[in-house]
Structure 1
Amino acid sequence: MIDIEAKPGLDGDVYRTLLESTRAIPWKIDWNTMTFAYIGPQIEALLGWTPESWASVQDWIDRMHPEDRAWVVDFCVAQSKDGIDHEADYRALCKNGEYVWIRDVVHVVRDADGAVEALVGFMFDISERKRTEERLLNLQRELERLSFKDGLTGVGNRRCFDKVLRNEWNCAQRSRQPLSLVLLDIDYFKQYNDHYGHIQGDNCLKRVGALLDSVASRPRDFLARYGGEEFVLVLPETDAQSACRLAERCRELIEQSRMPHEKSKAAPVLTVSLGVGAVVPDMASEPLSLIDAVDRALYQAKTQGRNRVAMAEPS
């Protein structure tokens, strides 16, 4: 295998020692023959392949992960033809069948006429960096997931509700399908907290959240804690009658759970009041109009005696 030429003023052995003492792996490819003129002995410690086994560019290609191969080769060849120095990250195959993340830093060498003569560069093992990046990405995803989750009940939080409602509103505008909203409030929850204590109050909210979650069974049905003792259901492609039936199931399910509530004026057990609204939104309307209508319906259910479902006036 041909050696990399020594730099002016440096003894060849000294130059080789400098190259081969680094953790980076130096290499050189002759452009006309597409063969390796040199590759550092460090390659064997990293990948298991001896320097002598790196004869041509095809060896480099064959020892690349199949998912990375096409784009890396196309990119590097195009950049090299244009005489542009470049970098590429890819997974390199080890002799034992495992893969290591490599960063190739490439410099294009031209002859006196400006034609590409050779490629020289360094390979760097970036596996640890990639593992760190993956851990950080997973952590970021987990933090994002938690940021949309109510810490007490485990259902969606208000921030997540705002996002889901906006997305479903846009879908309903495009598809001209109805979108329904159910807003639910636990009856006399302040009195429940005062009588049973905040720990039992938290347990009550968790149980209500779990019961409601069992009703929102379709893939796009969405449940969130709207605030305090209020929960909200977003029901895509659901008309007013269907939403009312589901709201009534929610009311019955919670009443039939028979959670004691001695201080309630509605019943001796825990109950809820619900407001329901449905709309086929036009392109000029906003989700706030539906929220306001459902909130008024909830207020109506409360003023009529609680433990009941009230329907918003059609807009």
Structure 2
Amino acid sequence: MNGFDADRDVYRTLLESTKAIPWKIDWHSMTFSYIGPQIETLLGWSPDSWVSVNDWVERMHPEDRERVVGFCVSQSQAGTDHEADYRALTRDGDYVWIRDVVHVVRNEEGGVESLVGFMFDISERKHTEQQLIRLQKELEELSYKDGLTGIANRRMFDATLEQEWNDARRRCQPLALILLDIDNFKEYNDHFGHLQGDDCLRTVARILSRAATRPRDFVGRFGGEEFALILPESDARAARTVAERCRQLLTEQALPHPAALATPTVTLSLGVSSLVPGEQDCPLAFIESVDRLLYRAKQSGRNRIEAG
């Protein structure tokens, strides 16, 4: 064995002793001239089954195929080294996350001669990334959720109102807002205690969620015993109908409230308004106008709706 063959054997031994899977593709024939035996340990496919680029393509997850193949081909044609992550099919029918690191080899004329690279198993890393993404999503959802009632919180109310306001103004559509308050809630807490008061808040939240039936209707806790409903594409009449449904559903629930002066059950006071936002209008002024209607309902005897 001459020195060149010895060196080549050493290099091959080094390559095949790593977890990374080396490979080489002839650019003109689009065939594998080499792929490390580690590929069989990882995916179950024997090295001699990797004949052409089509074998690589067909063993890629269908959802990744178009994106990855298009990217790799364009980068290779441009002579640019690149990396690509994708799911590779195992012989058992499962998928393993792979990162392909590709180096473009040029000939003396500057044309692409071959592609050489390494495949890395990144399944564990991807699993960790996906867990982090799920955790981040859960934390984001929690940041917009009221911890006591499970419905949206004030932060989500502000974000939703801004979004729906801009949409309504752009499309010249009406937007309705309902602000409502549990009547004599302080007296309820004083009589039953705060734990039962929390149960009352949760019950009201569930009832309001039943009253707002369309997918885009928003129900949230505005603060304390006050709640809010945002109703896109709802005029004053439609908004009042939803408000009356809220009041009626709670009446049917008949939650006892011995400390209330007017009625023996828990009731609601509601302020309702609708408008088509114009360039001179602003959400804060709209909220304040509906809040004044709610205050008027409270001052006028409670358990009633004031619309404007």
Superposition TM-score, scaled by structure 1 size: 0.92
- Match of residue 239, structure 2, among 235, 240, 243: 243
For the residue of structure 2 that corresponds to 1:11, the secondary structure is helix
User: Residues 54, 182 of structure 1: CA spacing in aligned structure 2 closer, same or farther, 3 A cutoff?
Assistant: same
- Match of residue 250, structure 2, among 248, 254, 262: 254
Amino acid at match of 1:57: V
> Aligned runs of 1:1-315 on 2, under 5 Å?
11-312=7-308
- How far, CA to CA, are the matches of 2:226 and 2:4 in structure 1? 78
Equivalent pairs counted in the alignment come to: 307
1:8: Cα distance to partner?
7.8
CA contact (8 A) 1:187 1:266 kept: no
User: Residues 8, 78 of structure 1: CA spacing in aligned structure 2 closer, same or farther, 3 A cutoff?
Assistant: farther
Gaps of 5+ in 2: none
Amino acid at match of 1:257: Q
Identity %, equivalent residues:
63
For the residue of structure 2 that corresponds to 1:297, the secondary structure is helix
Superposition TM-score, scaled by structure 2 size: 0.94
1:279: Cα distance to partner?
0.7
**Cα deviations by residue, 1:159-206 (Å, 9 ceiling, x for unpaired):** 111111112112211222211111111111111111210001001111
1:303: Cα distance to partner?
1.1
User: Residues 10, 113 of structure 1: CA spacing in aligned structure 2 closer, same or farther, 3 A cutoff?
Assistant: farther
Amino acid at match of 2:62: P
- How far, CA to CA, are the matches of 2:307 and 2:71 in structure 1? 61
CA contact (8 A) 1:178 1:280 kept: yes
1:102: Cα distance to partner?
1.0
- How far, CA to CA, are the matches of 1:292 and 1:68 in structure 2? 51
For the residue of structure 2 that corresponds to 1:113, the secondary structure is coil
Q: Which moved more, 1:69-78 or 1:267-276?
A: 69-78
